Amino acid sequence: MMDTNTLNAIRIRCMICFGIALIIFAMGAVWLLKDYNGNRNTNTSDKRLESASGTSTELADEMIFYPDNIQLNQKLQDLYFYKANSDVVKLSDFYGKNVIIMFWASWCEYCRDEFDYIKDYADLIKKHDDVEFILLNKLDGIKETREQAMAYLKENNIPFTAYFDEKLKIYNNLGIKIVPTFLGINRQGVLKICKPGNIGGSDGLSAFVDYVKYGGMYGTEQFITNQLTNDNGGVHTNYLESNNSSPSGYNVLSESQGIMMEYGVLKKDKALFERYLSYVTEKMLGSNSLASWIVTEEGKSNINSLVDDFRIYKALYQANKLWGGYDRLVKQWEKGILKYNTKRNNIVDSYDFKYKKKAQRLTLCFADFEALQLLQQSDKRYEGIYENALQLVKAGYISNEFPLYYSWYDYEKKQYVPDNLNTAEAMYTLLNLAKAGELKKETIDWIKTTMNNGGIKARYTVEGKVVDGYNYESAAVYAIISMIAGQIHDDRLMSDALVRMERLRVNNKASLLNGSFSGNDEENIYSFDQCMPLLAYAYIEYQ
């Protein structure tokens, strides 16, 4: 009975921790239909889009509008365009300023919609001395002429200088598909964000400007710290809990606390780190030497979660190197993990402090090799545990046809259990392997192929089929993939993953949801889908 309680608690924990919100696709589909039908015949590149039905509700379909030849977080080639008097202007002329480029054409219905806000845009840009807004006309000389463009700007009192992309050189070289398309380029000439389609007002542009100036983490950090975190420093598992509209009250996971601690270390923000650590030490420890995996209004759980304690330990270890003062806590976690989460030189998922019982399983994504290496360096009693964990995970490889890894291993039965794979967990297993230098080429190829063929879905069978009811995508999954890409130095994969992640992001400065990954769906804003993208941004900016 005791072991059953432990296992059930862990299963519940996995469902909550890695539970990925169902995404409501209808709003995206409406935009897709409108923009596709209005722009599909604008040039030869756009004609490739005619094979699309325009009726799918899959967010992946939006990728057909994304430029082919750009990568986020890479320095753009120097772009050459022209003033109305034919003087040459270069993108590098604007280095030192943050640049927003709007590709447009006078015949474009959706560009005209955007120009309804243009005076508001001008007022907003005036507030930012370090931001330049460039209207770059899609000038093909046939459908759009310089005279037509200038006449339109004059007639509508557009308060920005006119620039021209002669013969669509930039448009085609970057592989842009539709107008309008917005590019956000920072002071160093690095492309930070790309938005095919309309921004739709100054609140959207304001969020766009923040993204260019401060990076993607700015808005997401603001959302988590202001909207999800309570006064004690605990991250609520979902937005409705934070707004007191959940009948079950609030829950705080050690998972979220550990991620925010790791983020604080990467950012070198001691105050932020301390805010989330204080909740762990004051609300999650009690008489235990490790963190309870969940705290509810009724109190804290008697069970820990190894993967979260690994993360907390790593954050404490790095914080101690940065600022000092955490020696006692570092030692506490080193001793606690060894005592409660190892058995016969193997790591186990959890410990039930009430029944004094260790789990008889290892969820493969719990095997954090980075943490185990640190522990091995600090305490000789960890020698051998790292290698055993690595070999156990590697042996859980399913097949070359479906090159992922089983979800968990049963120590009593001495076998891998062929449960359906929660994709967030599966990707986290891959991230751990990537950090250990053990990621297979077949696995990376599967990620790339699957992303390009409709996107990676939320759950798979061990045969590689999408599980019924889980044919949706997750911001957290793509955040983890971007971190995997960083580990293997694959900039293209990192960009592709971030692009897919960003489609679920709210960019509206007037909204309380600004910076969240929710698609404006308040019922499906879960902490894991916020914290993992934030961590991905930090990996990009600080590693």
User: What does DSSP assign to residue 405?
Assistant: B
State the pLDDT confidence band at 15, using cuts at 50, 70 and 90. Answer: very low
Residue with tokens 């990376």, as numbered in its chain: 444
Q: List, for residues 455-476, the tens digit of each pLDDT value.
A: 999 999 999 999 999 999 999 9
Residue 296: C-alpha distances to residues 7, 192, 309, 457 (Å)? 19, 38, 18, 30
Separation CA 370–CA 311 (nearest Å): 10
Query: β-strand 251-253 against 162-166: which pairing, if any?
Result: unpaired
Q: Find out whether 311 and 261 touch, Cβ atoms under 8 Å.
A: yes
* Residue 101: strand, helix, or coil: strand
> At residue 55, does pLDDT exceed 90?
no
> At residue 40, does pLDDT exceed 80?
no
Q: Find out whether 41 and 47 touch, Cβ atoms under 8 Å.
A: yes
Separation CA 223–CA 475 (nearest Å): 15
> At residue 47, does pLDDT exceed 50?
no
Instruction: Tell me the CA end-to-end span of the chain in Å, nearest whole number.
Output: 46
pLDDT, average across residues 40-65: 40
Record the tokens describing residue 470, joined without a space: 């889980």
Share of the chain above pLDDT 70, in %: 87
State the pLDDT confidence band at 505, using cuts at 50, 70 and 90. Answer: very high
| Predicted pLDDT of residue 244 | 61
pTM for this entry: 0.89
Burial of 176 (C-beta count, 10 Å sphere; 0-12/13-18/19+): buried
State the pLDDT confidence band at 543, using cuts at 50, 70 and 90. Answer: confident
Separation CA 276–CA 117 (nearest Å): 40
AA letter at 307: V
| Predicted pLDDT of residue 30 | 34
| Predicted pLDDT of residue 61 | 57
> At residue 349, does pLDDT exceed 80?
yes
pLDDT, average across residues 408-428: 98
Residue 437: C-alpha distances to residues 110, 168, 392, 434, 492 (Å)? 47, 43, 15, 5, 19
Closest CA to 310 of 274, 267, 363: 363
| CB burial readout 484-521, b (16+ within 10 A) else e | bbbbeebeebbbbbbbbbbbbbbbbbeeebbbbbbbeb
Record the tokens describing residue 328, joined without a space: 């006692």
AA letter at 99: V
Separation CA 296–CA 236 (nearest Å): 10
State the pLDDT confidence band at 249, using cuts at 50, 70 and 90. Answer: low
Q: List, for residues 110-125, the tens digit of each pLDDT value.
A: 999 999 999 999 999 9
